[in-house]
Amino acid sequence: MTAAADLADDLHAAALRRDQWLERAGLAGLAAPALLLVAVTMIVPVGWLFGLSFLDDAGAPSLEHYRRMLAEPSYGRTFRTTFEISFVTTLICILLGYPLAYFLSQLPRRAANLCMIAVLLPFWTSLLVRTYAWLVLLQRSGLINSWGIKLGLWSEPLQLVHNVGGTLIGMVHIMLPFMVLPLYGTMRGIDGNLLRAAASLGSTPVHGFWTVFFPLSLPGLAAGSALVFVLCLGFYVTPAMLGGGKVTMVSNRIANDIELFFNWGAASALGVVLLAITLVVLVLAARLSRGTGLFGAGH
Amino acid sequence: MGWLDRPASDTQISHRSRLWLYGLGALILAFLAVPTLIVIPMSFSQSQYLEFPPREWSLRWYEAYFSSSTWMAATATSFKAGFCTALLATPLGTLAAYGLHASRLRFAGLAILVLLTPTIVPVILVGVALFYAYVQLRMVNSFLGIVLAHATLAVPIVMMIVGSALKSFDMDQERVARSLGATRTQAFLMVTAPQIGFAIVTSAVLSFLTSFDEVVVALFVSGGDNATLTRMMFLALRDQIDPTIAAISTIMIVMTSLLLAISQMFGKGD
């Protein structure tokens, strides 16, 4: 082959590569409108808000809002409440969600799909409607109190709502599907032959469950727990409605700072810390579950 | 009752020794489903205290809802906002999911991460930040403001649903269509779109519901003539337990169930 033909081939290959790149870039460009929307209504405003947290009341750069957050014990209490409620909610969701997901995974598919409606119905029902339902059920003259008294379980109406307990009930109810869905997916994917093999080697059903099934279900449990915990950290509506002003989570505090005190700096400093904690939990969860196919790694 | 002693699983455990599991499973399912459903009969109660079972049935809370011009205006706003959100978020999210899936550039991963941020950032921050931005732009209480905010929250949902449908779609089909003379747009519209149509319809329905059910952002950026239904409900509930909201909740539960059932039926046709 002559040098001229080589050169022509090279040019041709380069042109093809450029064409391919241009086509790919054009395709990626289809995401531009969505990216623009998210940038304009999300990233820029949140960035702008976060900028305010580094300014003092006169508009000069300072860490005053963060210093105050460390100095005032009420902020520490807010964060402790948020962590405690998120942790307890996650724990109860594990205790209720694991047996439920296991139950569903052991049913024949048709029956499981039917039962799934009971999980998905609340999942897609408005959070406000569900919180309202609990408010009605748990109030002094509500169903739980009147039936409890009728059955002789207690004699005076109990204070079931407008406190931490009511908030926890509402949050567990809202978060449970987020625990059950990933768990159920993982459990359905476990190869039944492994359990059959364990049984044929002399393992009892209970022993087989703990040594084979349970360890294989852990990735789903980790994914569900991380999801529930992170979503709990940002809860606003349920503590506001079922907490009766006694339960202040970080989101409620942010809203109060804006609505009652017009204190943008304090609110945005809280926001920075809330987002930072959320990201740390997500990164930790992704780290811990690396290699288990969680968070998209296995797709 | 012979079935009780038959094996229930590969490990030969019998249904009898599993009864506790069935009982526990049923109880937890009841915990999930019953509290929402029990609002439905309660909403037909005559009493201010929403008895169950209602001693006297009536439609008074429905009358209160349908005859109130503020509730009606808020409902109209929510429907319009939900509709516009679906109209905006579905094409944007679908285009983004398709483009990033087909381009396979390294930059695509980053773009996906950016588009998913609305699911990671706590919603209170979105509400407060948008309120701050809209104050500067004089867009507080505007209809456009609430639609843009809700579309941002819906875009990641569309992306995830359409994206996962594309993962199981064989892109070679598009290449075949194009080798036979179709343009890329034609190939997408005539070959790809019909096959991921179910995902697109589902994501439109869920975009609508995302907007219709959204409370926190609406609390901060909607108001006046453009107050949404959920904002009105939340504010009404802060003061007292208004039984009218039981009627509205019933309507919302029925609407959500119908929408999801219809979108599921659409999927069966594929």
DSSP B125-190: HHHHHHHHHHHHHT-TT-HHHHHHHHHHHHHHHHHHHHHHHHHTS-THHHHHHHHTT--HHHHIII
Alpha-carbon distance of B121 to B135, in angstroms, equals 21
What pLDDT, on the 0 to 100 scale, is given for residue A176?
96
Q: Is the pLDDT at A288 greater than 70, yes or no?
A: yes
* B153 and B209 belong to one structural domain: yes
> What token pair was written down for A125?
């029902």
Q: Is the pLDDT at A143 greater than 90, yes or no?
A: no
Report percent pLDDT > 70 for chain B. Answer: 96
DSSP B204-241: HHHHHHHHHH--HHHHHH--GGG--HHHHHHHHHHHS-
- List CB contacts (< 8 A) between A192 and chain B: 10
What pLDDT, on the 0 to 100 scale, is given for residue A299?
32
Q: Is the pLDDT at B118 greater than 60, yes or no?
A: yes
What pLDDT, on the 0 to 100 scale, is given for residue A195?
87
Closest residue in chain A to residue B213, using alpha carbons only: A126
If you average pLDDT over residues B202-206, what whole number do you get? 93
Last residue of a domain, one of B62, B90, B112: B62
Q: Is the pLDDT at A138 greater than 70, yes or no?
A: yes
* B111 and B245 belong to one structural domain: yes
Sequence ranges of the domains in chain A: 47-121+158-288
Measured CA angle at B67 (ends B62, B72), to 5 deg: 90
Q: A138: burial class by Cβ within 10 Å (0-12, 13-18, 19+)?
A: buried
* B73 and B188 belong to one structural domain: yes
Q: Does A176 touch chain B if contact means CB atoms closer than 8 Å?
A: yes
Whether the CB-CB separation of A243 and A167 falls below 8 Å is answered with yes
- Residue B268's pLDDT band (boundaries 50, 70, 90)? low
- Cβ separation B148–A41 shorter than 8 A: yes
Q: In chain B, which among 83-102 make CB contacts under 8 A with chain A?
A: 88, 92-93, 95-96, 98-100, 102
If you average pLDDT over residues A208-237, what whole number do you get? 93
Q: Which of A30, A195, A258 sits opposite B10 (nearest CB)?
A: A195
> What token pair was written down for B262?
């219809």
Q: Is the pLDDT at B131 greater than 60, yes or no?
A: yes
In 3D space, the residue among A184, A116, A111 whose CA is nearest the CA of residue B8 turns out to be: A111
* B142 and B86 belong to one structural domain: yes
What pLDDT, on the 0 to 100 scale, is given for residue A295?
46
Q: What is the pTM of this model?
A: 0.89
Q: Please give the residue that has the higher pLDDT: either A85 or A141.
A: A85
- Report the DSSP beta bridge partners of residue B45: B57
> What token pair was written down for B251?
């309507």
What pLDDT, on the 0 to 100 scale, is given for residue B180?
92
Q: Which residue has the tokens 């453009």?
A: B226
Whether the CB-CB separation of A34 and B159 falls below 8 Å is answered with yes
Specify the CATH architecture of the domain A47-121+158-288. Orthogonal Bundle (1.10)
User: What is the torsional sign of CA B75, B77, B79, B82?
Assistant: negative
Q: Is the pLDDT at A53 greater than 60, yes or no?
A: yes
Domain that holds residue B128: 68-268
* B138 and B182 belong to one structural domain: yes
The minimum CA-CA distance between B88 and chain A, rounded to whole Å, is: 10
Last residue of a domain, one of B16, B31, B62: B62
- List CB contacts (< 8 A) between B234 and chain A: 128, 237, 240-241
Q: In chain B, which among 123-162 make CB contacts under 8 A with chain A?
A: 123-126, 128-133, 148-149, 151-152, 155, 159
Closest residue in chain A to residue B23, using alpha carbons only: A103
- Cβ separation A103–B25 shorter than 8 A: yes
Closest residue in chain A to residue B7, using alpha carbons only: A205
In 3D space, the residue among A80, A79, A83, A85 whose CA is nearest the CA of residue A242 turns out to be: A85
**Segment among A145-154, A253-262, B45-54, B214-223 with least mean pLDDT:** B45-54
- Tally of domains in chain B: 2
What pLDDT, on the 0 to 100 scale, is given for residue A270?
94
* B264 and B169 belong to one structural domain: yes
- List CB contacts (< 8 A) between B220 and chain A: 258
* B154 and B139 belong to one structural domain: yes
Alpha-carbon distance of A31 to B107, in angstroms, equals 11
If you average pLDDT over residues B148-177, what whole number do you get? 93
For residue B191, give the CATH number of its domain: 1.10.3720.10
Q: Is the pLDDT at A1 greater than 70, yes or no?
A: no
If you average pLDDT over residues A102-130, what whole number do you get? 90
- List CB contacts (< 8 A) between A49 and chain B: 125, 128-129, 132
B13-55 confidence digits (pLDDT tens):
777 878 889 999 999 999 999 998 989 998 998 888 777 778 8
* B72 and B32 belong to one structural domain: no
* B228 and B118 belong to one structural domain: yes
Residue A222, amino acid: A
If you average pLDDT over residues A259-271, what whole number do you get? 89
ipTM: 0.88
The minimum CA-CA distance between B35 and chain A, rounded to whole Å, is: 6
- Cβ separation A258–B131 shorter than 8 A: yes
In 3D space, the residue among A56, A36, A53, A34 whose CA is nearest the CA of residue A44 turns out to be: A36
Q: Does B173 touch chain A if contact means CB atoms closer than 8 Å?
A: no
Q: Is the pLDDT at B270 greater than 60, yes or no?
A: no
* B109 and B76 belong to one structural domain: yes
A227-236 confidence digits (pLDDT tens):
999 999 999 9
What pLDDT, on the 0 to 100 scale, is given for residue A290?
63
- List CB contacts (< 8 A) between B36 and chain A: 121-122, 125, 129-130, 133
Alpha-carbon distance of B176 to B178, in angstroms, equals 5
What pLDDT, on the 0 to 100 scale, is given for residue B128?
94
- Residue A297's pLDDT band (boundaries 50, 70, 90)? very low
* B211 and B257 belong to one structural domain: yes
Give exposure, B194-229, as e/b (b: 16+ Cβ within 10 Å).
Answer: eebebbbbbbbbbbbbbbbbbbbbbbbbbbeebbbb
